[in-house]
Amino acid sequence: MLTALEKAGILVEALPYIKKFYGKTVVIKYGGHAMINSELKQAVMTDLVLMKFVGINPVVVHGGGPEITGMLKRLGIESQFVSGLRVTDSPTMEVVEMVLGKLNKEIVALINRLGGRGVGLSGKDANLIIANKKLGSGQQDIGFVGEVAQINPQLVETVIKEGYIPVVSPVGSGPAGESYNINADTVAGAMATALQADKLIILTDVEGILEDRNDKNSLLSTIKVEEIPSLIERGVIQGGMIPKVECCINAIKGGVATTHILDGRVPHSILLEVFTDKGIGTMVVK
């Protein structure tokens, strides 16, 4: 067990990091395992509440993942696929929005229970996220799948300034007010840019980017934007990691100082990233 003095030491050790990020905004893409396991959930939300209290402004963008699929199945809604992409027709979109809405308020409730003050928003609130229709890779219509056309960050800024933690579900608003489902990583990146955040953190279910995917000790703790093309070419970055890294690149180009791909399966990985010098996951920088 730790002595009182050791405890004090840890708090003192956090001071330089608290100073460094004081008054800064950090956008967190919340998803994957960290959104399913109840202990991890609590750990993530505790980290956010702690950040808020020490003067840092966290903004959560969450995904929906398995719950959407589960609900579609329960409702007997079958999905069509075009070149591997699920076509989001109107009934599907309705389910997407309902499930995201429910998850959104669950996150808010957990933040509140831990002593923070969460406010759940979707991209439709005050036209926070204006969406364009996105076409499939072969230019097919894949329904209500959108991409970010514009972020109107005033509502989120107000909510931050008033001391709340904004929690945003990745639903965008189309020209006629219709809903679009947008990839949550993309929304997090665009939000970080619009808010001129200091940090973008993407929680994933992997250790970060491994030089050799079979060797967990080969983690690349920092990569520069300019190194990324060759890493993709060499297959070090591949598959689902490619769009995540692209979100990082866009955010950095948009003025975000650092971006991080963290292992959401490690409890308090956000806190460790922000408050200690312990390298967790992969940082993508200019």
Burial tier of 98 (Cβ tally within 10 Å: 0-12, 13-18, 19+): middle
Cα-based angle 71, 128, 45 (whole degrees, multiple of 5) = 60
Q: What is the largest CA-CA distance in the chain?
A: 63
Closest CB 257 distance from a copy of itself, rounded Å: 19
Q: Do residues 55 and 210 lie in contact, with contact meaning Cβ atoms separated by under 8 Å?
A: no
Closest CB 12 distance from a copy of itself, rounded Å: 5
Q: Which residues are part of a known binding site?
A: 64-65, 86, 181
> Is residue 122 a contact residue for a copy of itself (CB under 8 A)?
yes
Which CB atom, from 26 or from 247, has the smaller least distance to a copy of itself? 26
Segment interacting with a copy of itself (CB under 8 A) among 16-24, 185-193, 207-215, 236-244? 16-24
Closest CB 115 distance from a copy of itself, rounded Å: 5
Which CB atom, from 12 or from 214, has the smaller least distance to a copy of itself? 12
Helix ranges, 75-200 (H): 90-113, 154-161, 184-194
CA distance 170 to 73: 21
> Is residue 149 a contact residue for a copy of itself (CB under 8 A)?
no
Which CB atom, from 53 or from 81, has the smaller least distance to a copy of itself? 53
State which of residues 38, 39, 74, 78 lies at the interface with a copy of itself (CB under 8 A): 74
Query: Which letter does DSSP use for residue 41 in this model?
Result: H
- 208 Rama sector, left if φ>0, alpha if ψ -120 to 50, beta otherwise: left
State which of residues 36, 98, 232, 249 lies at the interface with a copy of itself (CB under 8 A): 98
Which CB atom, from 50 or from 231, has the smaller least distance to a copy of itself? 50
The residues that bridge with 37 in the sheet, in sequence order, are none
State which of residues 61, 131, 160, 171 lies at the interface with a copy of itself (CB under 8 A): 171
